[in-house]
Structure 1
C-alpha cells in the first residue's frame, strides 16, 4: 500500500500545555487505523489536525498528504490514481502532488480542495437540519455540490439505503434516535465521495446495540467507497474488528503501535482494578417508592406501561443502580424520582432533613424544596460553551462567590471528580471545547457537586468513555460518596460498571423490578438475550 498521510514530529500546544508530543505516524491508502487512548490523551486534537480545517497557534512538525491532482481543475484523488485521467477534465492526467497541512495556509485553495474530500463523524455533533426531513437533509448536501433536484432525490435515496435508513427518510431529523442521526450524518458525508473518513468516537453516546449497527454501517461504507479511515473508539472490539493497525495515545504521545487485538488488550490492561471501601456507613432511607406506575398512550402501540407497580427504597449515602436493557423502564423511573415526569399512580417521597417531601406535588414547599438538594447528570449533558470552566462551575449555575473562594471550591470539587490539583488549576481558564470528552463529563459532574446536592441521579454516565476513563468515573463517584456523603442513583445498561460501583442494583424488565440486591447476584438474573443486548448493544 502506498503512503497516504505522513505525520512527522507533530507537536501541538495549548497555552503552554503540550497536547500532542512528537507524533510520528504513517497512514497507508486504504488502511483503517484505530486510535486508543484514555480521555484527554490527545485523540480528538490529532483527528482535527488531520482534518485540516482548523488553525492552531502553536503547532510544529509535518502532516503530509500524498495525493494525485489535476492541475487544470484541482480535482483531488488518493495517490494510487496518479497517472489516471481526471474525471472532470477529459485528456488531463492526475499528477503526483504532496501537501503539508502545517506549511500550507488554512485558506490556500489547494488545501481546501483536499479537505472537501475528507469526511468526519464526531461523537456528540450531529450537524443536521433538525426541523427538516431526513431525505431533505441528504438532498441539501447534494444540491450544495451542484446536483439537480431530480438527480439529488434519487441519489439521496440510494445513500439512505446504504446507511440502512430508507425506512426513516420522511421522519423529521430531530425526532430520530442518536444512532439514526449518526447514519444520516454519514449519508451526508458520503455525498462528497470522501477519500478519508475520520470517525472520532462516532458511537460514544449510543447504547451498545445501536453502536454495533452504526459500526457495521461505517465499516461497509468504508469498503464500498474504498476509503481510508482513522477511528477512535472506547469499544475495544470495534478497533479489533475494523482496524488494520492500532496505536495507543497516552498523555499526547504514541506509546504503542501494532496489531489491533494486541493493542486493545494492552490498553484494557492499563485500567487498574478498583476496590470499594467496606466501611462506608449507609444510612436510613432517603427515597421511598411505593406501587409506582407510569402509562403512556401511543397512537401506534396503544397503552404503554413504561413503569408497572414498582416499589423500592434508596438509603442515604448508598450507590443504587437501575439496570436493564433499552426500554426496561429505568430512565422513566429516574425521571419520576427527579420530578421531571409525573407518575400515573403510586408514591414517591424524598427525605430532606427529617421531613418527607411528596415529589408528585409541585411548589416551593413540596417538590421544589426537594429538588434544590438533588442533581441530575443526563447522558446528553452540556456545558456553557462560551464560558470558561471556572464560570461554568460558578456564575453560570448561579453560585455567587468571591473569586478566590470560587477558585478554591472549584479546585476541591474537581479533585473529587478525579482531576489532580495541578490539572484542576490548569483547566479553570480553558473553554469546554479545549477539553476532551471525558474531561468535560467530569466537569459536568463537578458542576452538580458545586451545588452541594444530597442526591445525584446519573443517566448512563459511562456511555461515552473508554475503559480507563470509566475507571476514573467509578473512582470519582466512590470518592464523592466517601468524602461528601452523596447518595447516587445510577441508570445504566453497563453491567460491569454497575457491578463495580453500586452497593445494590434493581434489575428492571418490561417496566417491572424483577430483583433487588447485591449487584453481582442481581445481574446474574439477566437472560441470555438481555446479556447479548447489554454487552453488544
Structure 2
C-alpha cells in the first residue's frame, strides 16, 4: 500500500498548553485506522488538524499528505494514481505531490485542493439545512460543486440510496432522528468524492442499535468508494469491526499502537475499570419515606397507582439506587422526594442539620428550606452552550462571587468531579460544545455541586452512554461523595451501573418496592422479561 499521510513530531498547543505531544504516525492509502482515548486525550484536535480547514497557530512538526496531483488542472487523487492519466482534463498525468498542513496556511491553494477531498463526520454537528427536505440538503451540496438540473436530482437520489435513506428523502431534515441525520451528513460529504473520511465519534450520542446502522453504512461506503478512513469511537466493537490498526492517545501522546482488536481490548480493560473503592462512611438517616402513595384518575383506566405505598430510608453520605423498568414508579417516587410532585398520601421527611422537614408542607420555612440543599441532575442536562465553562459554573446559575474567588471555587469543584487541576484550569475559558460528552457531564455535576447541596438526585445519569463515558460518570460520583460527603439518590434502569456504584438499591415493580439491600442480591431478582427491557 502507498503511504498516504505522514505525521512527524507533531505538537499542537493552545495558549501554551500542549494538547498533542510529539505525535508520529503513518497512514497508508485504503487503510482504516482507529483512534482511542479518554475524554480530553486529544482525539478531536488531531482529527481537525488532519482535516486542515482551520488555522492552528501553535503547531510544530509535520502533517504531510502524499498525493497524486495533475500537473495541468491541479486535481488531487490518492498516491496510487501517480503516473496515470488525469480523468478531469485528460491531457496530463498525475505527478507525486506533498502538502504539509503544518507548514502551509489554510489559504494556500495546494492545501485547499487536498482538504477538499477530505470528508468529516462529527459527533453532534450535523451541519444540515434544518428547514429543508433531505433531498434538498443533498442537492444543495451538489449545486455548490457545479451540478445542476436533473443531473443534481438524480445524483442526490443515488447518494441517499447509498446511505440507505431514500425512504426519508422528502422528510424535513430537523425531523429526522440522530442516526438519520448522520447519514444525510455522510451523503452530503460523498458529493465531493472524498479520498479520506474522518469520522470523529459519529455515533457518540446514539443508542447502540442506531449506532450499528450508521456504522454499517459507513463501512459499506468506505469500501465501495475505496476511501481511507480514520475513526474515533468509544465503542470497542466499532474499532474492532472497522479498523485495520489502532492507536491509543493519552494526554496528547500515543501510548499504544497495533492490531485494532488487540489495542481495543486493552483500552477497554484500562478505561472501564473503576478501581477499588470502599463503601462510604454513611451516617444517620437523611431521608425518610413512609407509605408513600401517588394515584391518578384516568378516564379509560380509572384509578392508577403510579406509586403504591413505598417506604425506605436513605442515610447521609449513601449512594442509594431506585431500580426498575420503565413504568415501575421510580421517577414519580424521586419527584416526590424532591417536592416537585405532591403525594396522595404518606410522608417524605428530609433532615436539614438536626431538624426534620416535612416535604409535604409548602413554604420557605418548610419544604423550601430543604430544597435549598437539594440538587437534581436530569438525564437531558443542559449547559449553556453560548457561555464559557466558568460562566456555566457561576453567573449562569446565580452564583455571584468576585472573579478570582469564583474561579478558585470552580476549579476545586471540577477537581472533585474527576478533573486534574491543570485540566480544570484549561477548560474554564472554553465553550460547552468545545469539550467532550464525558467532560460535559462532569461539568454538569460540578454545576450542581457549586450550589453546595447535601442531597443530589440523578435521573438516568448514564442514559445511552458508551462504556467509557459511563465509567467517567461513575468515578465522578464516587469522588464527589468521597471529597464532599454528598448523599446521592440515583434513579436508573442501568443495572450494571447501579451494581457498580450503589451502597444499597431498592427494586421497584408495579409501583411498589419488592426488596431493598445489597445491589447484587436485590438486582438478581429481576425476571428475564424485565432484563429484556433494560440496557
Question: TM-score, with normalisation over the residues of structure 1?
Answer: 0.83
Correspondence 1:416 to 2:416:
yes
Q: Deviations over 1:199-229 (max 9, x none)?
A: 1112222222222222222222211222111
Q: Deviations over 1:373-410 (max 9, x none)?
A: 54444555454445443222112222101223212321
Q: For 2:223 and 2:343, how far apart are their aligned partners in 1?
A: 50
What does 1:231-310 correspond to in 2, within 5 Å?
231-271=231-271, 272=273, 273-281=275-283, 283-285=285-287, 290=292
Kept in 2, the 8 Å contact 1:69–1:94? The answer is: yes
Gap change, CA 1:152 and 1:393, over 3 Å in 2: same
Partner of 2:458: 457
Kept in 2, the 8 Å contact 1:323–1:330? The answer is: no
Kept in 2, the 8 Å contact 1:208–1:534? The answer is: no
Q: CA deviation at 1:524?
A: 3.9
Gap change, CA 1:177 and 1:517, over 3 Å in 2: farther
Kept in 2, the 8 Å contact 1:67–1:96? The answer is: yes
Q: For 1:409 and 1:522, how far apart are their aligned partners in 2?
A: 39
What does 1:141-290 correspond to in 2, within 5 Å?
141-271=141-271, 272=273, 273-281=275-283, 283-285=285-287, 290=292
Q: For 2:179 and 2:511, how far apart are their aligned partners in 1?
A: 23
Partner of 2:36: 36
Kept in 2, the 8 Å contact 1:280–1:482? The answer is: no
Correspondence 1:488 to 2:488:
yes
Gap change, CA 1:501 and 1:78, over 3 Å in 2: same
Q: CA deviation at 1:89?
A: 1.9
Secondary structure, in 3 states, of the residue corresponding to 1:249? strand
Q: For 1:396 and 1:336, how far apart are their aligned partners in 2?
A: 24
Q: For 1:288 and 1:130, how far apart are their aligned partners in 2?
A: 49
Q: For 2:232 and 2:305, how far apart are their aligned partners in 1?
A: 37
Correspondence 1:398 to 2:398:
yes
Q: For 2:333 and 2:31, how far apart are their aligned partners in 1?
A: 44
Secondary structure, in 3 states, of the residue corresponding to 2:111? helix
Q: For 1:289 and 1:163, how far apart are their aligned partners in 2?
A: 54
Partner of 2:357: 355
Q: CA deviation at 1:531?
A: 6.0
Gap change, CA 1:222 and 1:230, over 3 Å in 2: same
Partner of 1:23: 23
Aligned length: 526
Correspondence 1:479 to 2:486:
no
Q: Aligned-residue CA RMSD in angstroms?
A: 3.9
Gap change, CA 1:309 and 1:393, over 3 Å in 2: closer
Secondary structure, in 3 states, of the residue corresponding to 2:35? strand
Higher relative contact order (CA 8 A, sep 6+): 1
Secondary structure, in 3 states, of the residue corresponding to 2:205? coil
Q: For 1:140 and 1:344, how far apart are their aligned partners in 2?
A: 54
Please tell me whether Structure 1 or Structure 2 has the larger radius of gyration of its CA atoms: 2
What does 1:121-140 correspond to in 2, within 5 Å?
121-140=121-140
Secondary structure, in 3 states, of the residue corresponding to 1:452? coil
Give the gaps of 5 or more residues in structure 2.
none
Give the gaps of 5 or more residues in structure 1.
none
Secondary structure, in 3 states, of the residue corresponding to 1:270? helix
Q: For 1:284 and 1:146, how far apart are their aligned partners in 2?
A: 68
Q: Deviations over 1:322-377 (max 9, x none)?
A: 5578x778997599569999899999968484334459x9x989998876554444
Secondary structure, in 3 states, of the residue corresponding to 1:49? helix
Which is further off, 395-404 or 270-279? Answer: 270-279
Gap change, CA 1:107 and 1:368, over 3 Å in 2: farther
Q: For 2:31 and 2:8, how far apart are their aligned partners in 1?
A: 18
